[in-house]
Chain A
Amino acid sequence: MSYYDDASLVLIPSGVKAAKVYSQKPTNGTGDFTFARASTATRTNASGAIESVASNVPRLDYMTATGTLATCPMFEVEQQRTNLVFPSDVATTQTRTVTATAHTLTFYGTGSVTLSGVATGTLTGTGANDRVALTFTPTAGSLVLTVSGTVTNWQLEAGSFSSTLIETTTATVTRLLDSVSISGASALIGQTEGTIFLDVDFRVVSSGGIRVFFNLEGSVANQFTGIAVGTTNNGNNIQYAGTIYNLTQGRHKIVCTYNSATNVSKLFVDGAQRGASTFAAFASTIDRISILGRVNPFNSFQVDRQQFGGCNQFALWKTALSDAECIQLSTL
């Protein structure tokens, strides 16, 4: 079989514009995703330079989770984060108020930043183009960051790992979450059987609540009808019908099949089956898709529960692929 020819939807990130991520298939536009991010953000371009990206424009990012430049771009999805230090371009010694939660400090350059006050430690740079990181948990109060030498594009954010640079000038700045979804796409989704494929650059979520890789969901009138695969409350474990598979930081290929004729759904990750579950037929038409986030079933159907990650490829088939095909498709 040809995976491409048989797929009902194929998205390999290459073309974007404001509020839109284009799919390669179908070509009539019905498979193009709606994108939203109500703030500016940054991305790393093909040359490794950091660029500003306007509000509601998707980010085609070349920086992988492991800090290497990719040859092909992925579209970036992140949760909301705030850079607590300013200005971000060139670091200066300052005192910031922090809470007693994990924080991550990052910067480029050959200088150092020494922590004192409610936390201690020193982060030393390794080069103008290298981003170094230090994660620490302060007590609540005033954190003093003493800068020495050349420290550029620095960021202090609440969280146990770093996110993309949030540019600041005179105050703290929040980058809002990215959301990627389609509604009214029932013709592209197998309603009785199907296959979902995601090739993701996974940034690792730690104790951030349930975070979703992909979700097929019903209409507003038919909530809680659908299928979703995500990570658990406790970090980077992918959970599926009780079977847990630990995802490491980096690239993974995830395939999920469902079939109401056999009443089985299966999960494949990185070239092996990792779980199986009974699957009942959808109670109503499934018509909405979200990538690296969840269609919130409780409210106005905005997208939430975002992962931190990059989408290299996403595809749907309206048939349940065979186990051998899923193993081949999910092999890294």
Chain B
Amino acid sequence: MTSYRKYAWPSEGQFITDMLSAGFATMEEGEVTFVDCYVHQIGIVGSDPRWAVDIIWVAPSDFQQYVVWPVPNSAVHWFGGWEGQYQIDYCEANPTLCNEAE
């Protein structure tokens, strides 16, 4: 089952290294292709030095240590059509904060 997660990696380099190492990306002729997932690298957001990344997982999601849960109405990026599912997942993962999202 596909799932949508938002991440904050320590750095862009760490993100690419982790994805290649875990087999979720391949490097061919200098071009990175992501495997079993769809990726949008948002980059640095505001004053947060971490590397923000949105991923839709076709495979079971990974890298739980870097998952972040921005309040839905403050998110800076969406994959088209996934806003509603993110809202549901946000409330399941953060029941005490869910009122904030509504």
Which of A's residues lie within 8 Å of B, judged by CB? 38-41, 54-55, 80, 82, 97, 166-167, 170-177, 209-210, 233, 296, 298-300, 302, 304-305
**Do B26 and A299 have beta carbons less than 8 Å apart?**
yes
Indicate if the CB atoms of B29 and A233 lie closer than 8 Å: yes
Residues on the B chain within 8 Å of A302, using CB: 35-36
Let me know if B17 is at the binding interface, CB within 8 A.
no
B80 is contacted by which of A173, A210, A298, A299 (Cβ under 8 Å)? Answer: A173
How long is the Cα–Cα vector from A174 to B78 in the complex, in angstroms?
Answer: 6
CB atoms of B33 and A296 under 8 A apart: yes
B84 to chain A: closest CB distance in Å? 11
A174 to B76, Cβ gap below 8 A? no
| CB–CB A39/B79 < 8 A | yes
Q: What is the CA–CA distance of A40 and B81 in the complex, to the nearest angstrom?
A: 5
A54 to B80, CA, bound (A): 9
| Residue ID in chain A nearest B38 by CB atoms | A176
Known: A209-B29, A210-B29, A298-B28. A174 touches B73 (CB 8 A): no
Describe A's contact surface by its main secondary structure. Answer: loop
Interface flags for B5-28 (1: CB within 8 Å of A; 0: not) read 000000000000000000100101
In the complex where A174-B54, A209-B29 touch, is A299 in contact with B79 (Cβ < 8 A)? no
Chain B: interface residue total (CB-CB under 8 A): 24
- In contact, A209 and B31 (Cβ under 8 angstroms): yes
Q: Which of B26, B29, B79 contacts A174 (CB 8 A)?
A: B79
Chain A contacts for B80, CB-based, 8 A: 39-41, 55, 166-167, 173-176
21 contacts between A and B (CB under 8 A): A38-B2, A38-B38, A38-B56, A39-B56, A39-B81, A54-B81, A55-B81, A80-B38, A166-B80, A172-B76, A172-B78, A173-B78, A174-B40, A175-B80, A176-B80, A209-B29, A210-B29, A298-B28, A298-B33, A299-B35, A300-B35
Q: Which residue of A lies closest to B36 (CB)?
A: A300
Specify which of B31, B58, B73, B80 lies most central, judged by the most chain A CB atoms within 10 Å of its CB: B80
Report the 10 A-B pairs with minimum CB-CB distance, sorted nearest first. Answer: A40-B81, A40-B80, A39-B80, A299-B35, A174-B40, A209-B31, A172-B77, A39-B79, A298-B26, A55-B81
- Chain B's nearest CB lies how many Å from the CB of A129? 24
Report the minimal beta-carbon distance from B58 to chain A, rounded to whole angstroms. 8
Alpha-carbon distance A302/B23, docked complex (angstroms): 14
Residues in B with CB closer than 8 Å to A300 are 35-36
